[in-house]
Structure 1
């Protein structure tokens, strides 16, 4: 029988006690609940810009369209247009420039430039102009998403009604997917946005903005049961999605 070494037993006992003590300390820590991360609070969206601030933002994107007819007569406020890129390409209504011998556009800083038609979408009354001598600073508009337009949304129109350049009118979207037979077109214009912001001669070709300042349509016509060419609360715009066909953008 081998003798037992007392020192060794004590060392083993001490090691066992130390290990158990460490376990006694570690177990409660291992079982302690892990604190949850505080919930992420998303900042609430700020209020939309005021109408005045919105106008200041979008006004530089709008041009006045001036035409010279083949008989030599000049119409200084034939309509309006909206700048769509930094090359100073401009969307307007085809009926504004279709019968013109010469076209000029006047920018928000007062600079006037000759312009040429570079694309048309006749079925949608859309033309694209290119300014030949644009100003050094060109402010293109933001093109919106027509699929997100809803009845009741705010609507803003900027144009040159009766020669009153860069005039603002406000209202709401009154209807969607409207059809309208307009003079000079064999087929009715379809898929139109109806709005009640005031539009008059000189607004044609100008932009219809939403509350964010995005272009959602191009003003094309007004309807008046009396037959007079003045606003009666029924304005119509080609959707910016449809106008995209003249820009080489596929139309759904």
Structure 2
């Protein structure tokens, strides 16, 4: 089985391996420096199935945390069911360019209420982000987020958007009728928690992107939704400019539950 898995990865892409030490990122004092470091920790989340067309299906963005062998993303990004009987695999892709490196991944924990998921990845440690204190974030503070807004159409090329925290409203998930509310949405309506509303443009592929301080790169949130007025296609053509992010205190709670803090 191990040999089969290794052969499967080699067939997905040819990888030029770059060894990365097990350490957190040292941040620069300027935004270009910060972005340069953050990009090393940003990954895409996908599934692969060699008998399927397309073989790779992109679901969203994630970022490396803890000891470099874990990834945080949105719960809604990770498929609820993987077709193991058809040899479908959950993977993350790391690196930049037309041939990113695939790593097998497995779900460790899900937090459906706060739309978070923790994955464990195979292989050597990757550079991890520093989780900041979201309770100290203020309205008007400048932030950035890095991810893959349009997926991996032309390869893996992370994109950064900059904006401000424009507010901290209770989370709301609109639904046309009460019949369409999920159990998680019902719980949110009964006991809503506050999220960051960002004055920055994001796209569906940005789900799971780290939101961080522009000066030191400390992650204070996770992009989890874009205000959608119409269809996903309409979002790409005419984005609303309103983005929501889950505060990092819920990331810390997830990591603590997993025994990583």
From 85, 91, 94, the counterpart of 1:104: 91
CA displacement 1:140-186 (0-9 Å, x = unmatched):
10100001111111111111111253111111111114321167543
Query: Residue in 2 aligned with 1:121?
Result: 111
Query: Residue in 2 aligned with 1:29?
Result: none
Query: Residue in 2 aligned with 1:238?
Result: 246
Query: Residue in 1 aligned with 2:19?
Result: none
Query: Residue in 1 aligned with 2:64?
Result: 83
Tell me the secondary structure at the aligned position of residue 147 of structure 1.
Answer: helix
Tell me the secondary structure at the aligned position of residue 193 of structure 2.
Answer: strand
Query: 1:90, CA displacement in angstroms?
Result: 0.7
Query: 1:88, CA displacement in angstroms?
Result: 1.4
Matched, 1:174 2:182: no
From 128, 148, 152, the counterpart of 2:136: 148
Q: For the Cα contact (< 8 Å) 1:198–1:235, is it kept in 2?
A: yes
Higher deviation after alignment, 240-249 or 211-220: 240-249
CA distance in 2, matches of 1:84, 1:155: 19
Tell me the secondary structure at the aligned position of residue 104 of structure 1.
Answer: strand
For structure 1, the 5+ residue unaligned runs are 1-47
Tell me the secondary structure at the aligned position of residue 36 of structure 2.
Answer: helix
Larger radius of gyration: 1
User: Which consecutive segments of 4 or more residues in structure 1 shift more than 6 A?
Assistant: none
Q: Indicate the structure with greater strand content.
A: 1
Matched, 1:93 2:101: no
Query: Residue in 2 aligned with 1:131?
Result: 121
Query: Residue in 1 aligned with 2:212?
Result: 209
Q: For the Cα contact (< 8 Å) 1:157–1:197, is it kept in 2?
A: no
From 53, 57, 68, the counterpart of 2:33: 53
Q: For the Cα contact (< 8 Å) 2:68–2:127, is it kept in 1?
A: no
- TM-score, normalised to structure 1's length? 0.71
CA distance in 1, matches of 2:57, 2:201: 20
CA distance in 2, matches of 1:190, 1:229: 25
CA distance in 2, matches of 1:216, 1:196: 15
Q: For the Cα contact (< 8 Å) 1:119–1:247, is it kept in 2?
A: no
Higher deviation after alignment, 97-106 or 192-201: 97-106
Query: 1:78, CA displacement in angstroms?
Result: 1.2
Q: For the Cα contact (< 8 Å) 2:69–2:125, is it kept in 1?
A: no
Query: Residue in 2 aligned with 1:6?
Result: none
Tell me the secondary structure at the aligned position of residue 253 of structure 2.
Answer: helix
- TM-score, normalised to structure 2's length? 0.69
Tell me the secondary structure at the aligned position of residue 179 of structure 1.
Answer: coil
For structure 2, the 5+ residue unaligned runs are 1-27, 83-88, 176-181
Matched, 1:194 2:186: no
Which residues in structure 2 correspond to 1:214-233 (within 5 Å)?
A: 214-227=218-231, 228-230=234-236, 231-233=239-241
